[in-house]
Structure 1
Amino acid sequence: MANVEVSLKEAMTAIDGALGAALVDYTSGMALGTLGGGKELDLTVAAAGNTDVIRAKVRTMEMLGLQDDLEDVLITLGGQYHLIRLLRSRSGAGLFLYLVLDKGKSNLAMARHQLRRIEAELEL
C-alpha cells in the first residue's frame, strides 16, 4: 500500500507524458497533494475547478436517476488530456485523482490502466 506522496510520484514516473498529478477532495475543492504542474499548470487552481466538474456530473446522474458509479472523466484539449478518476474505496469517498498528460507523449488507455492500479494501491 502506498501513501499520497508515493502514489503521486508513481503517477508522474510510471505514466508516460504525465505533466502533473493531484489528489483532490471534491467536497471542499482542496488539493490534498500535488506533484508536477508549474507556471502554466497550477494544480491547486485546476483541483478547485475540476471539483465543479465532478459535482455537476454527480448532480446530473442523480437527476437522471442513474444508479451507476462514475469511474472517470476525460477532458481533451488540443495538447493535453486531463483525466479525473474518482476513488472507490470507503476511505477514498469524496476524493479523486487528477492527472494531466501531454497528448503527444502519452497513451490514454495505458494512463487509465496505470491510474486504476495506483488507486488500488493508495492507502489513505
Structure 2
Amino acid sequence: MNIETALKEAMAVNGAIGAALVDYESGMCLGTAGGGRDLDLEIAAAGNAEVVRHEMRMMATLDMDESIEDILVTLHRQYHLIRVLTRDGAYMFLYLALDRERANLALARHSLRRIERELAL
C-alpha cells in the first residue's frame, strides 16, 4: 500500500484525529491526513521526532539490544501513538492521534501494525 492509502487506513481507526508518516531524523512529514486547527500535524511530527530520537539515544546509552515497536503518549483527552518503522535503514514512524473517548487503544495498535506491514516505501 502507498503512503496515501496507509494514512487513509489510519484515519479509519475509530477515534482518529490525525495521522502522519514522519522521517524522524529530520522531523518532516512524508504525508498527513486529518489534523486541523486543534492538531497541527507538522508541529506534532517535529515534536514526536524529538521523542523518537531521544528514546533511540537512551536505548543506545543503556546498550539495550531491543527495538522500539511503539511509543504512547497519554493525555487527558487524547492518545498519541507512534509506531516506529523497522525496515532496512528506514528512519520513519507512523503517528496517530486519537480521541480517548472514542478510541480503542489495543485496536489502534493492531491497525498500525497491519498498516506498517503493508506499507510500501
TM-score range, shorter chain: over 0.9
TM-score when normalising by structure 1 = 0.96
What count of residue pairs does the alignment treat as equivalent? 121
Gaps of 5+ in 2: none
TM-score when normalising by structure 2 = 0.98
d(CA) in 2 for partners of 1:56, 1:87: 16
d(CA) in 2 for partners of 1:72, 1:85: 4
State the shift of 1:88 in Å.
1.1
User: 4+ residue stretches of structure 1 with deviation over 2 A?
Assistant: none
Alignment of 1:16-95 (within 5 A): 16-90=14-88, 93-95=90-92
- Give yes or no for the alignment of 1:98 onto 2:95: yes
Q: Give the AA of the match of 1:50.
A: N
d(CA) in 1 for partners of 2:53, 2:86: 16
SS at match of 1:105: coil
Gaps of 5+ in 1: none
What is the CA RMSD across the aligned residues, in angstroms?
Answer: 0.7
Aligned to 1:6: 5
SS at match of 2:50: helix
Identity of aligned residues (%): 59
Q: Give the AA of the match of 1:99.
A: L
